[in-house]
Amino acid sequence: MGLLVLIIHVLAAAGIIGLVLMQHGKGADMGAAFGSGSAGSLFGSTGSANFLSRATAVFAVVFFVTSMGLSYLSFEKSSSVGVMSSDQLPVGTEVPIPALEVEAETEAEMESIADEIPE
């Protein structure tokens, strides 16, 4: 179920990107009036605005619904314990810290290695 919602979500996002890139900006009509742009398009000179804006709105609604669906599905699956949970170690419990594995043959080498370790 989650995979299906994720696929629809990605397709809706790609659809919104494509539709927004296909739409004309507010300054595009001014450029076409002075001859620097193409006045016609695939849907006609003004026919694309209504279709593209409605299709963008539909894709946006699908995107928001799938966003909420994905957040609901991830909330249901979430069983991780937070930082402030009651599953913490009791006070005074020592946590083992892995030691540095250093091979030193002499005492002088051991001291020089110990001097390099930041405190």
- With b for 16 or more beta-carbon neighbours within 10 A and e for fewer, the 72-84 pattern comes to eeeeeeeeeeeee
- 22-26, 39-43, 86-90, 106-110: range with highest mean pLDDT: 22-26
Burial (CB count within 10 angstroms: exposed 0-12, middle 13-18, buried 19+), residue 101: exposed
> Which tokens sit at 48?
């694309």
Regarding pTM above 0.85, the answer is no
Other C-beta atoms within 10 Å of 96: how many? 5
pLDDT of the residue at 68: 95
Distance CA 6, CA 61 (A): 15
State pLDDT tens for residues 54-67.
Answer: 999 999 999 999 99
**The predicted structure's pLDDT at residue 58:** 96
Task: For residue 35, give the 3-state DSSP assignment.
Answer: coil
Is the per-residue pLDDT at 3 higher than 90? Answer: yes
Q: How many CA atoms lie within 13 A of 70 on its CB side?
A: 14
Residue pLDDT, tens place only, 28-39: 666 556 655 554
